[in-house]
A and B are shown apart, each in its own frame.
Chain A
């Protein structure tokens, strides 16, 4: 392996590096550059005109552009936080159920949970919009059976965003369950035996052994879940169009509407930069938090 294969190295790397360079890294750099320009998406890049930080002032300003962006940003933050808060504990609970050895059927549960991850989001959105239907949908019918009144689901600004969180959790939780199971199988069985000998009950074992040793898995899951959550698009584009009254206007939908449909490429790019910066900050904060816990 000490011999150099410099010719081969480049032959092997060029296809992947060139494609990722032209179609991901270059657009990334252009997004940063365009965020400082006045530019219409319908014209070439050479028509861009430098305007400093004006786009950023505008998207945080008091005009309708600013109001819409700040609304979309807040909606995305709420959507992401709710998704994580539901998905992570569920994935650990479901992982424990699949992993336990007292009752058979764990692999069936895993298969069913994970299969929803293969369903195109567009089909999930279509099916759930009908499940949520206030009159002829089965959800309100079932709520009626247990004496709960009909819910407006996607048609009220108070419940629309949460309703989309639910369908997202349903689709994604199986994937995170598989990750949790991978983490659980890494925990040595002897730790539980030792704890049992010391008289620890199931809950004490969970808090003293399972949860601390799953920390790395949960960190990984949280990062992936955040990145997936900010990409929510199909249910909004197809069913709610950002409404009612802007309650489901999320960033991926909003940035595409501004930057592609309204062709305001500079403004859209500034919004994309803010999304990326926020992601970087949140993910670094998560890693810092996990490291502090590791040191304890």
Chain B
């Protein structure tokens, strides 16, 4: 039997998927065990017990200084920034992307500038943003918006252009105006595709958020990581990284489910 024809059955699929995670955990435990045997106070690879204790301290006990549950407070603060920013970029991308893709005049006017601007590395703009917007939430939201919108706009414009010309012509022969075509033909086609694009931008959005929080903040998941980094508190950093990963994964999952529920026809359209 050829290798490419061996298909794992259901149980094996689960086992194989778990294998890399399991190997990572074992590798970590071995490495951590070796270092802790040498120096019980080692901070680099803390034991799982130490991490569980740190999580308990950060998530389940109020901080004696501020009275806040730090991990929840950080999560709330980061998520509110991230979701606000993603909502803004999604809205801009939808409107501008459809305009550029559908109207040749808008495409000629804004297409090139969006193409050029999307090449600006957003992180390089951070110092400028902080001067213009101050150190507050405005600068952080702007960074995420700038970092994600332009790519979303370009993607949307390309998707609009992918719509078969026959469809648009047919709508016109049936007497639809530009406005009606945009609203009734293009928009429904674009919404599920927009969800696809936004899913891909979740990663970059977190990256920009954490970068901004590292520079100036008083709460947030990225803030905490960069703060405790000062004393190499890996027992806090590692759970926080895992937590961010879980949050990002859940956001992705939520969008996927939304797409499936709201646009059940799209799965068929994608494979066609």
Q: Do A and B bind each other?
A: no
